[in-house]
Amino acid sequence: MTEGTILTPADLAGNGVYGDDPDVRGKFGVFGGRYVPEALIPALDEVAAEYEKAKNDLAFIREFDHLLRTYAGRPTTLTEVPRFAEQAGGARIILKREDLTHTGAHKINNVLGQALLTRRLGKTRVIAETGAGQHGVATATAAALLGLECVIYMGAVDCERQALNVARMKLLGATVVPVANGSQTLKDAINEAFRDWVANVDHTHYLFGTIAGPHPFPEIVRDFARVIGVEARRQMLELTGRLPDAVAAAVGGGSNAIGIFHAFIGDQNVQLHGYEAGGRGAGSGEHALTLTQGSVGVLHGARTYVLQDDEGQTIESHSISAGLDYPGVGPEHAWLKDTGRATYHGVTDAEAMEAFALLARTEGIIPAIESSHALAGALKLGRELGPEAIILVNLSGRGDKDMGTAMKYFNL
C-alpha cells in the first residue's frame, strides 16, 4: 500500500479475526440470514457477489481509502478527556472522534463505501432510510459526490422533528419522501425503502444505513464502518502504549458500535460494552432495549433480537435520541451478546443527557445524544474498573443536530 493509506485489504475484509464472518447463508451463528421476498434475492446475490470482488480489489480499496482521507477527513483523532473522566472514578477515558468527520458522524464511512459499490454495480440511483436524518444526509452527500440520483425515505413524524436535516438533504439534491404509514418512524421508512427497491431494483441500490437487514448488508456495512476500530486500535497503542481495557459504544442498529468493536474482537483482554437506549427506563415500556429486553425474532429481513409482543408484532421503541430509536438490532450484535464476547446495557434518556451536558461543560465538545449513551456508559464502567483502567469511547457524532432537543430538555 502507498504510504499514508489507512486501509489494507485485510482491514476491509475483516481479516477473519474471529473466524465468524457470516456463513454462506449470511448467518452469524443462528442470527442474520435473509427473510425477504424472493423477488429481492437476485439483487442481494448481486450485491454480495460484487462486494466479494470489490473487497479483494486493490483499486477499489485505494479509491475508498482516498475518499476517507481526502473527503471524509480521516484518520480522525483520539482525544483524552480528563476533566470529564473525573466523574469516572479516575479511569482514563479516550474518545474516538468520529464527530470530526465530514457531515459530523461516522455514517459517512459506510455511505462512501456503498456509493462506490453502487457505481461498480452499474446502478444510477440510491435509496435509503433515515430516522434522525443523519444517514439520509450522509447518503445524499455521497450521492451528490458521485452523481447518483438519491431518494430518502423518512417517517413523517421524523420529518417534522428533524426539519433541518430534511432541508440539508434537499439542498444536497435528494428527494425526501415522508412515510405516513405505521408508526411513521424509522422502521416504517425501512419498510417503504424495501418496497421501492423491489420495484426499481434493476437500476437502484438500497444504501442500507446500519448493520441490520438481510445478508449481505450486515457484513458490508460492518466492513465499511470497521475503519473506526482499525484506526483507533493503532492510535491507542501509539498514545498509551497498550490496548484499552474496555471499548464503549452506543447501539441502535449497531453500526458505530460494530465499527469500533470489530478490530478488537480478537483481543480477548479488551472488554466490549454496548449501550442501548433505555428511554424512560427499563420498566416504563418506553425504550429501545432490543438486546437487553427484547427476544429473538425476525425483523427487516434478518433473525436477531427484536422488541415484539407475544405474537411477533413489532413494538414501537422510544429514545430521546432518534438514531437509537429502533426496535431491532444488527445480527452480529445478537451473536456477540449470545457468545458473551460483548456485553450490552441500557442507558436512560436522563443519564445520556447528563453525560451530554457534562462533556460539553468539561471538555468543550458537544456530542450527539446517541454518542452520549456511550459516554454515560463509560462513566459507570470507569467506576467499576477502577483508576488504572483505560476506556475507549466511540464518539460517533457531533451534537449540532440535537440542539433543538437540548434546548427543550435543559430550558436553554
Partner 1 sequence: MTTLQTVFAKAKADDRAALIGYLPAGFPTVEGAVAAASAMVEAGCDVIEIGLPYSDPLMDGPTIQAAVHRALTNGTRIADVMRTVEGVAATGAATLVMTYWNPIDRYGAERFARDLASAGGTGTITPDLTPEESGVWREASAAAGIDTVFLVAPSSTEERIKAVVDCCTGFVYAASLMGVTGARDQVGSAARGLVERTRPHTGLPVCVGLGVGTGDQAAEVAGYADGVIVGSAFIRRLLDASDEAAGLASVRELAAELAEGVRRR
Instruction: Give the interface with partner 1 as residue ranges (CB under 8 A).
Output: 25, 33-43, 181-182, 187-188, 190-191, 194-195, 198-199, 201-202, 295, 297-301, 306, 308, 310-314
Q: Which of 98, 129, 192, 219 is catalytic?
A: 129
Q: Rank residues 203 and 408 by Cβ distance to partner 1 and give the closer one.
A: 203
Q: Rank residues 73 and 182 by Cβ distance to partner 1 and give the closer one.
A: 182
Q: Rank residues 172 and 302 by Cβ distance to partner 1 and give the closer one.
A: 302
One-letter identity of residue 80: E
SS3 content of the chain, % helix, strand, coil (to 5): 50, 20, 30
Q: Are 138 and 113 in contact (CB under 8 A)?
A: no
Q: Which of 96, 107, 123, 187 is catalytic?
A: 107
* Least gap, CB of 285 to partner 1 (angstroms): 16
One-letter identity of residue 129: E
* Least gap, CB of 191 to partner 1 (angstroms): 4
Between CA 257 and CA 70, with CA 208 as vertex, the angle to 5 degrees is 70
Q: Are 274 and 249 in contact (CB under 8 A)?
A: yes
* Least gap, CB of 24 to partner 1 (angstroms): 9
107 catalytic? Reply is yes
27 catalytic? Reply is no
Q: Rank residues 313 and 411 by Cβ distance to partner 1 and give the closer one.
A: 313
* Least gap, CB of 195 to partner 1 (angstroms): 5
Q: How far apart are CA 167 and CA 153, in angstroms?
A: 14
* Least gap, CB of 216 to partner 1 (angstroms): 14
Question: What's the sign of the alpha-carbon dihedral 197, 203, 208, 212?
Answer: positive
Among all chains, which residue has been given the C-alpha cell 479511569? 91
Q: Which of 317, 319, 321, 396 is catalytic?
A: 396
Q: Rank residues 5 and 191 by Cβ distance to partner 1 and give the closer one.
A: 191
The overall longest dimension of the chain from CA atoms, in Å, is: 56
Left if phi > 0, otherwise alpha if psi is -120 to 50, otherwise beta: which for 265? alpha
DSSP letters for 39-62: GGHHHHHHHHHHHHHHHT-HHHHH
396 catalytic? Reply is yes
Which of the residues are catalytic?
A: 107, 129, 396
